[in-house]
Amino acid sequence: MKIKTEKYMPFLLVLPALVIVFGLTLYPLFHALYYSTRNTDLTLNKDDFIDIRNYRTMLNYDPTLSDAWVRSLTFTGGCLAFQIPLGLGIALLMNRPLRGHKIFRAILTLPLVVAPIAIGQIWRMMYHYEFGIIKYITSSVFGTSPNWTADTNWAMVSIVIYDTWQWTPFVALILLAGLQGLPPEPYESATIYGASAFQKFRYITLPKMRPLIGLAAVFRMIDTLKTWDPIWAITWGGPGQATETLSYYLYRIGFRYFWVGYASAVSLVFLYIVIVISTVALKKGAKL
Amino acid sequence: MNVLRIGIKTKRKIVDVLYYIGIIIVLIVVLFPFLWMFLTSIKKESDILTIPPKIFFEPTLDNYIFVFERPAPNIINGLMNSLIIVGSVIALTIPISMLAAYGFTRFNVGGGHLQFYILTVRMFPPIAAIVPYFVIFRNLGLLDNHLSIITLNTLFNMPFTIWLVAGFLREIPQDLEEAAMIDGATRFEAFREINLPLIAPALAVAAIFAAIFTWNEFLFAFILTRSEAITVTRIMAGFYTERGILWGPLSAAATLCTVPMFILALIIQKYIVRGLTFGAVR
């Protein structure tokens, strides 16, 4: 009896976790696979087998979907383009051993632990096209101001700025940890050979930080592809469809229109692409 | 020589001041939305939407009173439910993840593949699975029930906890346990006496992370709860009326939702980066 439990113990240890993980990931997957072949619509009480027609619609007859793809990629690209350089800049600022650096670091962690639905709605208020403090600041500084979330051309920018506010500290803290682990010797010899501060940054710091920059970028990419809460909190996907990324489009067809069949098909494709992109990025960029 | 040394010192001082200026600008940007949230929460309705925005005004607690006295489900129900859900998620996630992490590190169950599959849950966009979850929980009669929210949050907190705890377990030499077992301890006793005290900080950190993620979770709460199991984040989605958005009460609710998370963040200060990167960055 004792030998038996010892033999099966490794599997018993991981069993509860596996039941939860497999149960709650594979079951929805098969569920979605089944409904993706049907025209299920909860409002019209339709539920018939339509083979691969949902997939064909997705590829050929749904311009809203391709627009949503473009918006998702724009959002992810925009976030990375702002957050990585800014994060590196902040990390370099914080790397100087100034008095109070522990407090600075503590303050930097605060945006990371706040619910997007709470602080995002505060940003919605700050972006208000008439009374918002951000509009007030931009128009006092520049003399003129976009209407931020009320303007179809600026709404996506508004969400990118919000995400940059919330997550640049995360990038900065990762890179700061990396900077603090750099060995001092290369810098000392570079100083002896008369290298400028920029040359030291370009030829010592950047190459050594590359893996961590990759890691930070991968984490931000995975999360920005999934982003949903801030879009609900700040724009509801609008104005019009200006900030409707794929994840928000999925919400609209699933829970505003209740097209369960079509939403299942789109979910599957979205899920598959996100997991593939994330896994490749994780293996290439982060080498976990 | 003396003059030169003073020159270097003054130069360093000037650079220090420039760094301080940079850091202070960053910190102002980071803190401003929180400050604005708090200020709005103690403003009268007539002081909120004004041009120019008001920085000085007569403070009031009306917004806080409003959110507490709203007919149920109100913020009290939201805070209570979120507390119940957070507590249950921790009680489930921590032991299950601890066992799994031990299995993965000491017995290499699944040769790394299973642990990687669990990691992919971190990439899983919840929105892509919410339709099936909704249908499943509706068929089980678990809509607007704590159980559905607890289960889903447990799933999404487990990968992180397993990886974090596994990272700590790998740092403990296996010899210690084996020595104890040769001396006659059972595996359970060896685990309890040797590993558990060493991974206890990791478990505490993981529990606090689970608390933060679960407390802040909005999508599942939004789709799956209505009144009985309404969470604090779902409450915050309910300030839209025919008169527009109730900014004052919304800010009060947001402040109440945010302050406990600040306290937790300060407790796990040192581990935030390590936690958010699954232990990849120390």
Chain A CB contacts of B49 under 8 Å are 128, 130-131
Chain B CB contacts of A212 under 8 Å are 281
- Of A173, A220, A212, nearest in space to B272 by CA: A173
Judge: B277–A251 Cβ closer than 8 Å, yes or no.
Answer: no
- Indicate the number of domains in chain B: 2
Record the tokens describing residue A112, joined without a space.
């990371």
Chain B CB contacts of A136 under 8 Å are 51-53
Tens digits of per-residue pLDDT, A90-124?
999 999 888 888 899 999 999 999 999 999 999 99
- Of B214, B232, B206, nearest in space to B75 by CA: B232
Chain B CB contacts of A116 under 8 Å are 216, 218
Q: Minimal Cα–Cα distance from A71 to chain B, Å? A: 16
Q: What is the pLDDT of residue A4?
A: 59
- Based on the fold, state whether residues B59 and B127 are members of the same structural domain: no
Q: What is the pLDDT of residue B162?
A: 92
Asked whether the predicted pLDDT for residue B10 surpasses 50, the reply is: yes
- Span B220-245, average pLDDT: 90
Q: What is the pLDDT of residue A1?
A: 43
- Based on the fold, state whether residues B265 and B220 are members of the same structural domain: yes
pLDDT beneath 50: ranges in chain A:
1, 288
- Based on the fold, state whether residues B79 and B43 are members of the same structural domain: no
- In terms of pLDDT, which residue wins out, A156 or B119? A156
- Based on the fold, state whether residues B133 and B237 are members of the same structural domain: yes
CATH of the domain at B170: 1.10.3720.10
Judge: B114–A14 Cβ closer than 8 Å, yes or no.
Answer: yes
Q: Which residue among B100, B125, B133 sits closest to A226, beta carbon to beta carbon?
A: B125
Domain edges within chain A: 1-35, 38-286
Chain B CB contacts of A110 under 8 Å are 30-31, 34, 262, 265
- Based on the fold, state whether residues B46 and B178 are members of the same structural domain: no
Distance from C-alpha of B256 to C-alpha of B129, rounded to nearest angstrom: 30
Tens digits of per-residue pLDDT, B120-175?
888 888 888 888 899 889 989 999 999 999 999 999 999 989 988 988 888 888 88
Dump strand ranges (E) for chain B.
240-241, 244-245
Q: Name which of B34, B67, B281 to mutate to probe chain A: the one with the most chain A Cβ atoms within 10 A of its Cβ.
A: B281
Judge: B281–A177 Cβ closer than 8 Å, yes or no.
Answer: yes
Q: Which residue among B19, B223, B239 sits closest to A98, beta carbon to beta carbon?
A: B19
Distance from C-alpha of A110 to C-alpha of A233, rounded to nearest angstrom: 19
**DSSP code string of chain B:** -HHHHHHHHHHHHHHHHHHHHHHHHHHHHHHHHHHHHHHHHTS-HHHHS-SSPPSS-----HHHHHHHHSSSS-HHHHHHHHHHHHHHHHHHHHHHHHHHHHHHHHH-GGGGHHHHHHHHTTT--HHHHHHHHHHHHHHTT-TT-HHHHHHHHHHHHHHHHHHHHHHHHHHS-HHHHHHHHHTT--HHHHIIIIIHHHHHHHHHHHHHHHHHHHHH--HHHHHH-SSTT--HHHHHTT-EETTEE-HHHHHHHHHHHHHHHHHHHHHHGGGHHHHHTTTS--
Q: Is residue B146 part of a domain?
A: yes
Query: In this complex, is the C-beta atom of B36 within 8 Å of any C-beta atom belonging to chain A?
Result: yes
Q: Is residue B31 part of a domain?
A: yes
User: Cα separations (Å) of B57 from A105, B50, B63?
Assistant: 32, 12, 15
A75-113 exposure pattern, b = at least 16 Cβ within 10 A, e = fewer: bbebbbebbbebbbebbbbbbeeeeebeebbebbbbbbb
- Based on the fold, state whether residues B32 and B82 are members of the same structural domain: no
Q: Which of A221-230, B110-119, B218-227 has the weakest average pLDDT?
A: B110-119
Asked whether the predicted pLDDT for residue B3 surpasses 60, the reply is: no
Q: Is residue B282 part of a domain?
A: no
- Based on the fold, state whether residues B24 and B91 are members of the same structural domain: no
- Based on the fold, state whether residues B46 and B79 are members of the same structural domain: no
Distance from C-alpha of A262 to C-alpha of A32, rounded to nearest angstrom: 10
Query: In this complex, is the C-beta atom of B21 within 8 Å of any C-beta atom belonging to chain A?
Result: no
Tens digits of per-residue pLDDT, B30-83?
999 999 999 999 998 888 888 888 888 889 999 999 999 988 888 999 999 999
Q: Is residue B33 part of a domain?
A: yes
- Based on the fold, state whether residues B19 and B105 are members of the same structural domain: no
Distance from C-alpha of B64 to C-alpha of B47, rounded to nearest angstrom: 16
CATH topology of domain A38-286: MetI-like fold (1.10.3720)
Chain B CB contacts of A31 under 8 Å are 132, 135-136
Q: What is the pLDDT of residue B4?
A: 58
Judge: A10–B20 Cβ closer than 8 Å, yes or no.
Answer: no
B220-253 exposure pattern, b = at least 16 Cβ within 10 A, e = fewer: bbbbbbeeebbbbbbbbbbbeeeeeebbbbbbbb
Distance from C-alpha of B77 to C-alpha of B37, rounded to nearest angstrom: 22
- Based on the fold, state whether residues B39 and B161 are members of the same structural domain: no
By the 8 A CB rule, do B132 and B74 touch? Answer: no
By the 8 A CB rule, do A101 and B20 touch? Answer: no
Enclosing domain of residue B81? 71-276
- Based on the fold, state whether residues B58 and B83 are members of the same structural domain: no
Q: Minimal Cα–Cα distance from A127 to chain B, Å? A: 11
Q: Name which of A117, A231, A267, A278 to mutate to probe chain B: the one with the most chain B Cβ atoms within 10 A of its Cβ.
A: A117
Q: Is residue B281 part of a domain?
A: no
Distance from C-alpha of A255 to C-alpha of A216, rounded to nearest angstrom: 33
Chain A CB contacts of B100 under 8 Å are 13-14, 16-18
Record the tokens describing residue B173, joined without a space.
């030499």
- Based on the fold, state whether residues B190 and B58 are members of the same structural domain: no
Record the tokens describing residue B157, joined without a space.
């907190």
Judge: A131–B53 Cβ closer than 8 Å, yes or no.
Answer: yes
- Of A281, A284, A68, nearest in space to B127 by CA: A68
Q: What is the pLDDT of residue A171?
A: 95
